[in-house]
Amino acid sequence: MKKIVTLFFVVCLCGMTGYGQVKTPVPSPKSVVTQEVGLSEVKVEYSRPGVKGRTIFGDLVPYGEKWRTGANASTKVTFGDDVRVNGNELKKGTYALFTVPGKSSWDIIFYSDLTSWGVPSSKEYDAEKEVAKFSVEPSSTKDMVETFTIDVHSLKDGEATLALMWEQTKVSMTIELETDKQVMASIDKVMAGPGYRDYLNAARYYHSSGKDMKQALEWINKADELNPGKFWVLRTKSQILGELGEYKQAISAAEESMKLAEEAGNANYVKFNKEAIADWKKKK
């Protein structure tokens, strides 16, 4: 009988525990905005509170006080490349976005410390971690924005607008990127033809795959020409020459590679070359 009572108690307890698993919508759901701008990417992670019949700015969000710019954890903005925001330079990376709302002017703050939940306390806040701080003038939206919204819009090749909208207030800032500089650098690189690394990788692949060794030799010679005096390039060259049966040349390339590897303190390449030279001398 005692065992039956104990079992009944356990079953009841499990049932009560089950009632604690009810799921409900969160008041301020998370949102992630990811937008390509030119050749880069802008990402915003934030939580979205609602108006819900309240007066927002000047009341729920006081004027003149730092705001986490959303709800819950700090809003975070990630830039895939160096940018300028309203003329302020920001390095590639992730920043907490704090704001100080006002009737006629908002302060925008990009903060480097991401560890705080919301805005750090006055004792913990470090002005030196303000990577950028500037003021913008708010505007009014035509329609009521019930849920706090951050958007990246008005996209151009090297420019976009980052906008904060809630209630009937909108705050916008301009993001500028060096898209033209990136494109021109890409054009110059492609038009200049393959680089040393391209030739080296192609030669290594042909060698390891047992493909056309004459073509591999042509490519490794080009790599050596573009970036001479590299022991890893000469090591690959010696291997290709060895596959072609050109042992004298293979030994010469390996000896040069070994000398350079010794100077660089790379014991592995010294060992590889010594073993290869000994093998090729037997085949001469």
> What global pTM score does this model have?
0.69
pLDDT at 20: 61
- Please tell us whether the domain made up of 191-283 is placed in CATH 3.40.47.10: no
Read off the pLDDT of each residue in 243-254 and give the average, rounded to a whole number.
Answer: 97
pLDDT at 80: 96
- Within the chain, strands assigned E span 30-37, 40-47, 76-79, 83-85, 88-90, 93-100, 106-111, 130-136, 139-156, 159-177
User: What Rg value do the Cα atoms of the chain yield, rounded?
Assistant: 32
Query: 113-160: per-residue pLDDT in tens?
Result: 999 899 999 999 999 999 999 999 999 999 999 999 999 999 999 999
- In this structure, what is the dihedral angle of CA atoms 127, 129, 134, 138, given to the nearest 10 degrees? -90
* Summary mean pLDDT of the chain: 92
pLDDT at 19: 54
CA atoms 153, 80, 36, 38: torsion sign: positive
Query: 99-122: per-residue pLDDT in tens?
Result: 999 999 999 999 999 998 999 999
Query: 157-197: per-residue pLDDT in tens?
Result: 999 999 999 999 999 999 999 999 989 988 898 888 999 99
Q: Rounded distance, CA 43 to CA 162, Å?
A: 11
Domain extents for the chain? 25-178, 191-283
pLDDT at 40: 95
| CA distances to 48, 78, 105, 239, 269 from 216, in Å | 58, 43, 65, 10, 20
Is residue 116 within 8 Å of residue 74, measured between CB atoms?
A: yes
